[in-house]
Amino acid sequence: EAQVTQNPRYLITVTGKKLTVTCSQNMNHEYMSWYRQDPGLGLRQIYYSMNVEVTDKGDVPEGYKVSRKEKRNFPLILESPSPNQTSLYFCASSHLELTGFPTEAFFGQGTRLTVV
């Protein structure tokens, strides 16, 4: 079954304690990205990756890091989480269209993060 898998689904942590949210896809997609979703703001892109070792900032990258060492995995790293990073996070993946651009087609189930 084609899927994007995020772990954990729920996480409560304390300010400043480094954490990693994992994301894995089994569709051999080139493009992967991370979003955060906050009430009234929709989804905002944090980082995206065009392929292995190719990553770039989205609209809200501050306070986050990513890595793409393997095609299937795209972890989101919060080096020093703060309460304003409390949010619902989604990982997504897609292939690249003939245009060379992605169609954001597959989203994970989400990770609800609370930073206290």
Partner 1 sequence: GQQLNQSPQSMFIQEGEDVSMNCTSSSIFNTWLWYKQDPGEGPVLLIALYKAGELTSNGRLTAQFGITRKDSFLNISASIPSDVGIYFCAGHWGTYKYIFGTGTRLKVLA
- Token pair for 22: 């994992």
The C-alpha atoms of residue 14 and residue 106 are separated, in whole angstroms, by 30
- 51 or 84: CB nearest partner 1: 51
- Compute the least distance from the CB of residue 97 to partner 1, in Å: 8
Stretch near partner 1 under the rule CB under 8 A, chosen from 17-25, 35-43, 64-72, 75-83:
35-43
Q: Is 107 in the site for partner 1 (CB under 8 A)?
A: yes
- Compute the least distance from the CB of residue 56 to partner 1, in Å: 7
The contacts found for 82-85 with CB under 8 angstroms, 24 or more apart, are 82/15, 82/16, 82/115, 83/15, 83/115, 83/116, 84/115, 85/36, 85/113, 85/115
Q: Which residues bind partner 1 (CB under 8 A)?
A: 4, 31, 33, 35, 40-45, 48, 50, 56, 58-59, 90, 92, 97, 99, 101-110
